[in-house]
A = this chain, B = another copy of it.
Amino acid sequence: MGPLSLPKQDRSRATRQRLLEAAVACLAERGWGGSTVSVVAERAGVSRGAAQHHFRTREELFTAAVEYVAEQRSAAVRGLLPQVQLITGPARTHMAVGQLVDLCTGPLFRAALHLWVAASDDDALRTPVTELEARVGREVHRMAVELLGADERRPGVRETVQGFLDMCRGLGLAHLLTDDTARRERVVRHWTAVLSNLL
């Protein structure tokens, strides 16, 4: 492919990204039931035909969307690592915990939650979403270990990080229907101190 084809490729990639971002926003706001390819195409300002050129099925669009946005968020958090690594002790844990809790209370977690729950009783979604969840889960775990500066060779540290990430997901769930910010901040402040002692 010569350089003349690049602008078209760029346009195609930009369209794809707009569709993926619109799909996650749609899933977070309307849930799986209200999220169709047409709704996402309209939101992204793309024709339905163009959307179907990029994603053959609804399952493909939404699974790709959650993966894409998870990778973007992950890259953004990884971008903070050089700064975070300069800090040690409780201040480091505080900063790391803040980032990890934020990951579970924003629109990405909300969209992923809708996708997970829909996949639990939808045969076409179950396999791709289970694979996606495993990949995203491993990536979040690796990121947590690096952010916290945790040494997983020490016994119990792996389980400490895993249990803490389960807590973050539980905090995300508690934020689904009501604004749980005040309670969450107290819980997070307390458990940051606990985690800092454990690591």
Give A contacts to B, CB under 8 Å. 29-31, 33-34, 110, 113-114, 116-122, 126, 129-130, 133-134, 137, 156, 159-160, 162-171, 173-174, 176-178, 183, 186-187, 189-191, 194, 198
Tell me if B173 and A116 are in contact (CB < 8 A): yes
Total identical chains: 2
Tell me if A177 and B130 are in contact (CB < 8 A): yes
Instruction: Tell me which residues across on chain B come within 8 A of A34, comparing CB atoms.
Output: 121
A117 → B minimal CB distance (Å): 5
Contact among B116, B166, B198 with A177 in the assembled complex (CB-CB below 8 Å): B116
Tell me if A177 and B133 are in contact (CB < 8 A): yes
Q: Whole-angstrom distance between the alpha carbons of A30 and B162 in the complex? A: 29
Report 16 cross-chain contacts, Cβ distance below 8 Å, ordered by A residue: A29-B121, A110-B120, A116-B177, A117-B117, A117-B176, A119-B177, A120-B177, A126-B177, A130-B178, A159-B187, A159-B189, A163-B167, A163-B187, A163-B194, A165-B170, A170-B173
